[in-house]
Chain A
Amino acid sequence: MVCVKHVPDIQSERSLGPDGRLVRDGGDGTINELDENAVEAAVVLAEQARGAGEEAEVVVVTVGPDDAEDAVRRGLQLGADAAVHVLDDAIAGSDVFGTAAVLAAVLRRLGEQAPVDLVVTGMAGLDGLTSLLPAALAATLDLPQLTLAAEVTLADGAVTVRRDLDHAVEELTAPLPALVSVTDRANQPRYPNFQGIMAARKKPVESLTLADLGVDPSTVGAAGARTEVLEAAPRPPRTDRVLVTDDGQAGARLAAWLLERDLVRTTPATGEVL
């Protein structure tokens, strides 16, 4: 099961509404880029499993309004086999914990049909960028979590990942079922070809409501959200900007400009805080 999110294209002009929520009109939404890495990782693992004579299926799941279906469609084009779209008015304004509860209900439902061995997510949403979802979902499902994977391998009923952290490189392993989040370094998502796009049209997208999933609507949506946006404002544009073409003296000019503004200290900072 791969969790994907529909977000405004990060190359577009994005803005927040008065309620502090992302403005999602304009039709320039897309799959959260980092979720393509999650789909790719799952599709490759499924291909390997099939190559070894096992049965494997990749299901992409999204929670969101009508146009969020585009995100799972993209997942299907990228090689997923089936899709689930949870669509319910009560979901609008959900925080990450509400979303995790809904995704957990989807997993339980899928599990009734066939065991779900692996949940794969991207490392963060490029909209809110909180990156809380993978751990919140793992905790909700009580699955072992292996996050920020730059490399994923499955063998003998266990999943192993390599992760590059700020202070160390780690290798983690856990028995299946488990949850893995992958980084943009995990793979290079394939570019869907014409056949992939045509095949995706025939793949099933199951649409589910909260009632189908047995999720209490009061626990999700804006009412169930644990934080509330009070204000949202665009950052003021930078003023007094200088742009020069180097005439042989631009570096010296910059040095003087930096000192004038006291932007470099006379004694190099050591980074020590005491």
Chain B
Amino acid sequence: MATVLVLLDHAETGALRGNVLELATAARDLADGGEVHGLWVGDEPVDPALPVLGRHGVAVVHQVSTGAVDARLTPVLAEALADAVRETGATVLLALSTFENKEAAARLAVATGAGVVTDAAAVERDAEGRVVASKTVLAGTWTTRCAVRTDLAVVLLKAGAVVSRHVDEEAPLAPELRTRALAVSERATRAVVVRRTPAEPSDRPDLSSADVVVVGGRGTEGDFAPLEALADEVGAAIGSTRVATDEGWIGHETQIGQTGVTVSPRLYIGAGVSGAVHHRGGMQASGTIVAVNADPEAPIFEIADFGIVGDLFTVLPQVTEELRRLRQG
């Protein structure tokens, strides 16, 4: 039995970030009869999220207020995590594998001696009760399983790593809410935010967790319209290559690859994307890979499940059209 702590990432509106409930599900399996606690850092109203957290087995939610201090600074987040670990006696901490959470985890680990696995695709306990996580490495070409050897295990799970499950329909929990103020240390706030411009909200699914991703590269020449139409038809997120973002055709937050977002959707569709190793590192672990490229020698064809040598401006509209026709019929 163990107490497992889950970091409840949420937007500034107070909405839980997609995929947080997957963490709660993974936490239940690791708790082995123990309790799952959630940590909510910030003053946003948590009440609206309590029922859904209860349905996913969260027994206690700790809302930690950092007062006037910006809780988005990762050193502040790290102190909130350390405080919650102390308070709950948790031996496992799960969080989504974002850049921010990696930083907070690194600092927490320096402070507490915890072992950390990032970008985990699965987590379980082995026969000895150790926390074991698997992940893909080397640009998605290898899979490893690592055991955490320390008393506190921090595992950062990739979006979509776990299928979230409700607890028994009859027995949703009514999470107990505990609120606390955290006295943040001076050292955590030496770097301060002087300006912050939130990104434009998008109607599309979140790129890192979307089921289907349609990706455009230099071959689009800046015209993403055929990709948008296909994405609308299949409910996909839109991604891009560094060339497309560098050209200013689309926002930097859509860049997939080693210095952008890592995705592993059920279906990746790349159009006008050559498949450079930097890009592959962020998408090679996708379930099914489809590529449309004018150049039969493009490296993306080496990893594509379905490759079309052709012009994206004729192929994509035909795919969209045909999907619509077949699904109406």
A127→B234 CA distance, assembly (Å):
34
B281 interface neighbour in A126, A238, A241, Cβ under 8 Å:
A126
The answer to whether A14 touches B141, judged by C-beta atoms less than 8 angstroms apart, is: yes
Pick out which of these stretches binds chain A: B59-67, B86-94, B189-197, B215-223: B189-197
Known: A132-B105, A241-B304. A273 touches B18 (CB 8 A): yes
The answer to whether A268 touches B141, judged by C-beta atoms less than 8 angstroms apart, is: no
Interface Cβ pair total, 8 Å cutoff = 291
B34 CB within 8 Å of chain A: no
Nearest CB in chain A: distance from B286 CB, A? 10
- In A130-144, the 8 Å CB interface with B consists of 130-136, 138-140, 142, 144
The answer to whether A230 touches B147, judged by C-beta atoms less than 8 angstroms apart, is: yes
By a CB distance below 8 angstroms, the chain A residues around B119 are: 129-130
Known: A258-B323, A265-B235. A235 touches B140 (CB 8 A): yes
Known: A129-B119, A168-B198. A269 touches B235 (CB 8 A): yes
B103 interface neighbour in A10, A135, A250, Cβ under 8 Å:
A135
The answer to whether B116 touches A132, judged by C-beta atoms less than 8 angstroms apart, is: yes
- In B271-309, the 8 Å CB interface with A consists of 277-278, 281, 285, 288-290, 296, 301, 303-309
Closest 6 CB pairs of A and B: A271-B205, A268-B235, A251-B318, A246-B310, A226-B115, A255-B322
The answer to whether B110 touches A97, judged by C-beta atoms less than 8 angstroms apart, is: yes
The answer to whether A136 touches B106, judged by C-beta atoms less than 8 angstroms apart, is: yes
Known: A226-B113, A226-B116. A244 touches B326 (CB 8 A): no
The answer to whether A174 touches B190, judged by C-beta atoms less than 8 angstroms apart, is: yes
Pick out which of these stretches binds chain A: B37-45, B130-138, B173-181: B130-138
The answer to whether A131 touches B102, judged by C-beta atoms less than 8 angstroms apart, is: yes
The answer to whether B308 touches A244, judged by C-beta atoms less than 8 angstroms apart, is: yes
Nearest CB in chain A: distance from B156 CB, A? 9
B21 CB within 8 Å of chain A: yes
- In A36-51, the 8 Å CB interface with B consists of none
By a CB distance below 8 angstroms, the chain A residues around B145 are: 229-232
Known: A16-B144, A264-B234. A271 touches B209 (CB 8 A): yes
The answer to whether A268 touches B233, judged by C-beta atoms less than 8 angstroms apart, is: yes
**Residue with the highest number of chain B CB atoms closer than 10 Å, among A22, A142, A170, A266:** A170
A242 interface neighbour in B78, B107, B235, B306, Cβ under 8 Å:
B306
The answer to whether A268 touches B195, judged by C-beta atoms less than 8 angstroms apart, is: no
A270 CB within 8 Å of chain B: yes
Known: A97-B110, A171-B194, A227-B116. A273 touches B308 (CB 8 A): no
The answer to whether B192 touches A173, judged by C-beta atoms less than 8 angstroms apart, is: yes
**Nearest CB in chain B to that of A101: its residue:** B110
By a CB distance below 8 angstroms, the chain A residues around B317 are: 251
**Nearest CB in chain A to that of B284: its residue:** A235
Per-residue A-contact encoding for B190-214, CB less than 8 Å = 1, 0 else: 1111111111000011101111100
By a CB distance below 8 angstroms, the chain B residues around A256 are: 322, 326
The answer to whether B21 touches A273, judged by C-beta atoms less than 8 angstroms apart, is: yes
The answer to whether B142 touches A273, judged by C-beta atoms less than 8 angstroms apart, is: no
Known: A97-B110, A245-B309. A227 touches B148 (CB 8 A): yes
Nearest CB in chain B: distance from A237 CB, A? 9
B147 interface neighbour in A16, A227, A249, Cβ under 8 Å:
A227
- In B13-40, the 8 Å CB interface with A consists of 16, 18-22
Interface size on B, residues (CB 8 A): 109
Nearest CB in chain B: distance from A269 CB, A? 4
Q: List 17 A-B residue pairs with CB atoms under 8 Å apart, sorted by A's residue number.
A: A16-B137, A129-B137, A130-B119, A132-B109, A134-B106, A135-B103, A136-B106, A166-B208, A172-B194, A226-B148, A230-B147, A232-B144, A234-B141, A257-B306, A261-B288, A268-B235, A270-B205
Apart from the given pairs A175-B190, A238-B289, 4 other A-B contacts in the complex at a CB distance below 8 Å: A132-B102, A132-B103, A184-B242, A226-B114
The answer to whether A252 touches B322, judged by C-beta atoms less than 8 angstroms apart, is: yes
**Nearest CB in chain B to that of A261: its residue:** B288
- In B74-125, the 8 Å CB interface with A consists of 74-75, 78, 98-100, 102-107, 109-111, 113-119
Pick out which of these stretches binds chain B: A55-63, A75-83, A145-153: A145-153
A169 CB within 8 Å of chain B: yes
- In A109-130, the 8 Å CB interface with B consists of 123-124, 126-130
A100→B21 CA distance, assembly (Å):
33
A267→B232 CA distance, assembly (Å):
11
The answer to whether A169 touches B199, judged by C-beta atoms less than 8 angstroms apart, is: yes
The answer to whether A226 touches B109, judged by C-beta atoms less than 8 angstroms apart, is: yes
By a CB distance below 8 angstroms, the chain B residues around A267 are: 235
Nearest CB in chain A: distance from B170 CB, A? 19
A54→B122 CA distance, assembly (Å):
52
A258→B322 CA distance, assembly (Å):
11
The answer to whether A167 touches B146, judged by C-beta atoms less than 8 angstroms apart, is: no
- In A81-120, the 8 Å CB interface with B consists of 95-97, 100
By a CB distance below 8 angstroms, the chain A residues around B198 are: 167-168
